[in-house]
Structure 1
C-alpha cells in the first residue's frame, strides 16, 4: 500500500497524520470535506482511505456509500463518535474498519497494514507481476495472457475485466463496481455486458468453460478470481 487518502475536518490533525504517514513511507492525499474526498477517491486512486464521519458538507456514511458504488478501496473510519450505532452504520455502508479518537499512530499503521493484506496491495502485484494458475498465465506488467504456452488474444474490454479480477484475488467484485470501473457512470444496469464478456473470457482461458475454476460468478452479486 502506497497512497493513503485522509479525510478530516480538523486541519491540525490532518497535517499531523500527513507528516507522520509520509515519514512511514506513504504518499498522502488530504481532504477537509466530503466533496474533496470524493474527487480524490476517484482521481487519486488511493490504496486506502482514512475517513472521519463528521464532515462539514456530506455525512461520512454517505461518502462511504458513494465511494462503494465504484470502488472497493479499503476504508478505515476515524471518528470521535463512540456509539455502536455509528459504527454499524459505517460498516454497513461499506467501511472495512473503525478507529475511535483519540488513537495512537501505531494503531492506525497496524490497521492500514491489515487493510492492505485484505485487499491485495500494489506491492504484492509488483512483486509477482505474472499470475500463473496452471490453466493460463497473466502477465500484468506486459499486458499479455498465455494458455498452455500459447498467446491468447483479448479485446481491450476482456483485458480490463481480467486485470481487475486478477489484481483482487479471492475478492468479490460487484457487478456495479465492475461496470463503473470499466464502462463508466451510467451503466449500472447493463449487467448483460458482463455476462457476455465473462463468457468470452472463460471460453478463451478456462479448461472447462461450463465449470470454471478461476473466473467465478457469485449469482446476483458479481465475480471473483480464484488463483
Structure 2
C-alpha cells in the first residue's frame, strides 16, 4: 500500500516565492497547498488539516504573528516561520507565541527540507495534541498561551530567554533535541556552536523548576547530543 504524502501548507503573500517553493517541495514528495491571502489562512488550515505549516510574518491583512497565535488556540501542528525578519527579538517572539522553528530569507532549500523532515519525524513519534495550551507535568503547571509556569501552585519568575527555552523543550517533550538545534532556534544561527551558553541557561531553568537541580527529573542531558524534557506524569493537586 502506497504511503500517503505528507501535506505542507505555505502561507505567504509573495506569489512567485510560493510558486517556486511549492515546486521544490513537490520534488521531495510532499503534497503542497498554498494560501497567498492571509485573511483566508485560518479557514484553509481548518479545511486542509496540514501536517506542517510554513508561515510568513509580514503580510497585509492578518500578519503571521496573529495567524500563529490563533492556530495555537486549536492545534499544535508544527509551524516554521519563514521570513526576512532576522533579529533575535523577532525569533524569540515567534517561538514565544508558538512557532516551532524560524528560517530567515534567503535560505538554502536543502536546509529547509531537512528541518521539515525532522519536524515531521518528531510529529510521527509524538503526535501533536490539538488544543493543548495548558499542560501538567509532575508538579508543574504550564500555560503555553499565557506564558506562565507554576510549581506547586507558585508562579515562577522566568526571564524571556529562560521561558522561550523551557517552552521549546516542553513542546517537544520526550524527544532529545541536539544542542545545535536548540541554540539555533532559541538564540539564532550565529549561536549554534556556543554550548556553554546553552548549558548556563539550562542550569538556570533547572534551579527554578527542579526539586533537586543536581539530580534533574525534567530536563535530562544526553551527553554529546542534547537535552530532553521528560514527560513526567502529573502529580495530584
- Identify the TM-score tier after normalising by the shorter chain: 0.5 to 0.7
The normalised TM-score by structure 1 is 0.55
Q: CA deviation at 1:33?
A: 2.8
Q: CA deviation at 1:24?
A: 1.2
Aligned residues: 138
Q: Aligned to 2:74, what secondary structure does the other structure show?
A: coil
Structure 2: give runs of 5+ residues left out of the alignment: 135-230
CA distance in 1, matches of 2:22, 2:236: 41
Runs of 4+ in 1 over 6 A off after TM superposition: none
Correspondence for 1:68 among 59, 69, 72: 72
Correspondence for 1:59 among 26, 38, 63: 63
What is the alpha-carbon root mean square deviation over aligned residues?
A: 2.8
1:109 aligns with 2:113: yes
Q: Provide closer, same or farther for how the CA distance between residues 54 and 113 of structure 1 changes in structure 2, counting only shifts above 3 A.
A: same
Correspondence for 1:7 among 6, 11, 16: 11
Q: Aligned to 1:72, what secondary structure does the other structure show?
A: coil
1:81-100 aligned within 5 A: 81-100=85-104
Structure 1: give runs of 5+ residues left out of the alignment: 122-166, 178-213, 221-227
Contact 1:22 1:28 in 2 (8 A): yes
Structure of greater Rg = 1
Q: Provide closer, same or farther for how the CA distance between residues 5 and 218 of structure 1 changes in structure 2, counting only shifts above 3 A.
A: farther
Offset from partner CA, 1:176-197 (integer Å, 9 cap, x none) = 69xxxxxxxxxxxxxxxxxxxx
1:35 aligns with 2:42: no
Correspondence for 1:18 among 19, 22, 28: 22
Offset from partner CA, 1:162-219 (integer Å, 9 cap, x none) = xxxxx72xx6665569xxxxxxxxxxxxxxxxxxxxxxxxxxxxxxxxxxxx9x5588
1:118 aligns with 2:125: no
1:120-159 aligned within 5 A: 120=124
Offset from partner CA, 1:62-92 (integer Å, 9 cap, x none) = 1000000001100000000111111111110
The normalised TM-score by structure 2 is 0.53
